[in-house]
Amino acid sequence: MISCGEPSGDLYAGALVRALAARDPELQAFGLGGERLAAAGARLVADFHGLSVTGLTEALKVLPRSWATYRQLVAAARDERPDVLVLVDYPDFNFRLMRAVKALGVPIVYYISPQLWAWRAGRMRTMKALVDRVLVIFPFEEAIYHGEGVDVAFVGHPLLEMVAPSADRPTLARRFGLDPARPVVALLPGSRANELERLGPILADARARIAARVPGAQFLVARAPHLADRWFAAFEEAGAAAPVSRPSASGGDRRDLGPVPTRIVEGQTDDVLSVSDVVLTASGTATVQTAMHGKPMVVLYRLSPLTYRLGKPLAKVDMYAMVNLIAGRRVVRELIQDECTVEAVADEAVSLLTDAAKRDAMSRALAEVKAALGGPGASGRAADAVVDLVRRVRG
């Protein structure tokens, strides 16, 4: 049985199930996930789309459906008695699920473990009491769990085996209708509706400011699947109709530069990143994916004011971007909450686009981050760890 509740987890869960099936062709998998998990051969008891949000107050809106999904999964576990339950991130839901399934005598593996080192450290007691093995994807996490006496293994980051553009930069630029000789800014506004609601308008408005200061700048929006068209209307309207102007060389009259060149691309994030020069991205897995492409970035993080005020006292870190946490220093600029404004986003993007030395230094630091994540093969190593646990439990 497997449970994942967001697009990145679905990606990793699908890869894990394929690796498990390669080791045992008779494998049967079922649980909570999305199209990646289903494509790997798992039977979806429930689909997570619509459940995934960020923030405390935002989670209240999906609570009724979340509770119904929980009851479906517990009933499925009771009926089918799996050999193991593999949880993939999504801790607020998965912690409740593992309590119920553990009570059935099912061993628990937590893959892509919750970020206990970042906030709500008290959950470590629950991990120690209920989880039989933790599989972590960031190197610094292993020592944290070891120190608590938890059975843990660092398996590396599964994205390392997945990040691959479909073509070279000139080919991708032509495919997206871009000029490969002109700078390209990738916009990654997130994969959840509430991220789009808060970051989409900021990114859409920042483009005009960037284009006014960096003539010829082009923009690519990476659109995650299963998101409503309305969340991207601001990009389409501004890209098609909003004129960009800037002062003339004399500093007097302003001249129209025309619409902001923008393309929205769905389900091709690696290609969007590969063709880009600078990336403006929501905080989360996308920052690691961007680092694997070695692309200079600015990281954006914005929640509802109430959620931010409630959550900030619980945080144990003063950095939010995963690439900065892995590096142990501020490699990339983070624009958090009130600092995340149209003006600040534009200023940071322009700085990266116009300062080659700054771009190069950031790219070198991101290469160090990538090297720290281990080599390809994380899904296979995770599968071996799951199989080993099941064999030990069976005796």
pLDDT by residue, tens only, the chain of 395 residues: 999 998 889 999 999 999 999 999 999 999 999 999 999 999 999 999 877 655 555 666 778 889 999 999 999 999 999 999 999 999 989 999 999 999 999 999 999 988 776 566 678 999 999 999 999 999 889 998 999 999 999 999 999 999 889 999 999 999 999 999 999 999 999 988 888 999 999 999 999 999 999 999 999 999 988 888 998 988 886 554 343 334 333 333 333 445 788 999 999 999 999 999 999 999 988 999 999 999 999 999 987 666 666 666 556 557 778 899 899 899 999 999 999 999 999 999 999 999 999 999 999 999 999 999 988 999 999 999 999 999 999 87
Evaluate the CA torsion angle 87, 92, 97, 100 in order and state its sign.
positive
The confidence score (pLDDT) of residue 244 equals 38
The confidence score (pLDDT) of residue 179 equals 95
Q: How far apart are CA 55 and CA 349, in angstroms?
A: 26
For tokens 């993080």, name the residue. 301
CATH number of 169-372: 3.40.50.2000
Pick the CATH number of 2-156+377-394 from 3.40.50.2000, 3.40.50.360, 3.40.920.10, 3.30.390.10: 3.40.50.2000
The confidence score (pLDDT) of residue 237 equals 64
The confidence score (pLDDT) of residue 258 equals 52
pTM above 0.85, yes or no: no
Domain ranges of the chain: 2-156+377-394, 169-372
The confidence score (pLDDT) of residue 56 equals 58
Strand residues in the chain grouped as ranges (E): 2-4, 30-33, 43-47, 85-88, 108-111, 133-136, 152-154, 184-188, 218-223, 243-247, 254-259, 262-266, 278-282, 297-301, 333-336
Q: Are both 2-156+377-394 and 169-372 of the same fold?
A: yes
Amino acid at 136: V
The confidence score (pLDDT) of residue 246 equals 41
The confidence score (pLDDT) of residue 114 equals 84
